[in-house]
């Protein structure tokens, strides 16, 4: 006679649910049509990090948790596509910063609208209170992941 399995503990269930969510979001990413056929999916987070103010490549790399060489290659492509422009750093004229062009800003508006429309369909049956709770907990989770020692700056010495 088979033995009954013990129910999973909340922390085990959380891990399983999180993995399932990551896999589903990866599938969504694969299935979603590209807004701009030449923009690699890794380019969108770079663009979103420029929506409020110009930034240096090193700052963008740190914010999106990628190495500078990867971000640099993507930036070169985005500049070539007219979505990002290089400008002088006002605090150091020798350095360059990146800023969105009008076309890049318009693309972000369209990407965000498309994403928000899809998410609205997904959570259509959720109450505003449920959404607020989920958003609060998701933000807290992301903050805690970023604060984890895994993301601590590496000692270069």
Q: Would residue 5 count as lying in a domain?
A: no
Inside any domain, residue 52: yes
101 within some domain: yes
Query: In terms of DSSP H, where are the helices of 32-67?
Result: 43-48, 57-64
- CA distance linking residue 147 with residue 61, whole number of Å: 17
pLDDT tens, residue by residue, 81-134? 999 999 988 888 788 999 999 999 999 999 889 889 999 999 999 999 999 999
What average pLDDT does the segment 53-69 reach?
Answer: 92
Please report the pLDDT score of residue 141 as a whole number.
Answer: 93
d(CA 64, CA 70): 11
Q: Give the pLDDT of residue 2.
A: 55
Q: Is residue 25 part of a domain?
A: no
Which pTM does this prediction carry? 0.76
104, 109, 111, 110: which is closest to 29 by C-alpha? 111
Q: How many CA within 13 A on the CB side of residue 16?
A: 7
> Is 141 part of any domain?
no
Q: Is 154 within a domain?
A: no
Q: Is the pLDDT of residue 28 over 90?
A: no
- The C-alpha atoms of residue 108 and residue 44 are separated, in whole angstroms, by 8
CATH number of the domain enclosing 115:
1.10.10.10
Domain that holds residue 83: 35-123
Structural domain tally of the chain? Answer: 1
Instruction: Classify 98 in phi/psi space as left (phi over 0), alpha (psi -120 to 50) or beta.
Output: beta
Share of the chain above pLDDT 70, in %: 92
Residue 155 has pLDDT above 60, yes or no: no
pLDDT above 80 (res 152): no
Percent of the chain with pLDDT over 90: 56
- Residue 47 belongs to some domain of the structure: yes
Q: How confident is the model at residue 156 (pLDDT cuts 50, 70, 90)?
A: very low
For residue 30, being part of any structural domain is answered with: no
């Amino acid at each position: 006679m088979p033995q009954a399995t013990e129910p999973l503990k909340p922390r085990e269930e959380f891990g399983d649910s999180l993995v399932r969510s990551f896999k589903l979001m990866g599938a969504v990413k694969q299935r979603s049509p590209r807004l701009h056929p030449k923009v690699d999916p890794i380019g969108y987070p770079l663009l979103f990090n420029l929506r409020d103010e110009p930034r240096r490549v090193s700052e963008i790399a740190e914010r999106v948790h990628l190495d500078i060489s990867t971000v640099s290659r993507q930036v070169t492509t985005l500049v070539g596509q007219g979505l990002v422009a290089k400008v002088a750093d006002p605090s150091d004229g020798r350095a360059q910063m990146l800023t969105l062009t009008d076309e890049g800003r318009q693309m972000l508006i369209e990407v965000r609208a498309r994403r928000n429309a899809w998410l609205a369909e997904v959570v259509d049956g959720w109450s505003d209170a449920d959404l607020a709770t989920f958003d609060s907990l998701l933000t807290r989770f992301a903050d805690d992941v970023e604060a984890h020692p895994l993301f601590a700056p590496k000692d270069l010495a």
